[in-house]
Amino acid sequence: MALRVAIAANADRHARDLSPVVEDIRAGGATSLRAIAAELNGRGMLTRRGGRWHVSTVMNLLNRLGLREAACASPG
């Protein structure tokens, strides 16, 4: 159980660290999950595990930041 808590804490910390980047991306007009993933990849940002961003990983990130509904409601 302690390992699960540690993993979740690391993921939460990574999400908080990326929060300003996500805000900047969204302010620049990229609001869909796919557009945010493309922008994160274009900026060379890595997922917590060191991978590339996909729709599902952006969705998980936005869920951790409490921003998921806003991304789903956007058309682009």
71 confidence band (pLDDT: 50, 70, 90) = low
What tokens does 33 get?
């999950």
Mean pLDDT of 31-57: 97
Please name which of 60, 13, 69 lies closest in space to residue 40, comparing C-alpha atoms.
60
Nearest to 64 by CA among 25, 29, 23, 18: 18
- Tell me: pLDDT of 70 over 80: no
* Domain span including residue 31: 2-73
Per the structure, how many domains does the chain have?
1
**Distances from the Cα of 73 to the Cα of 5, 18, 38, 51, 63, angstroms:** 31, 21, 18, 26, 14
Q: How far apart are CA 31 and CA 45, in angstroms?
A: 17
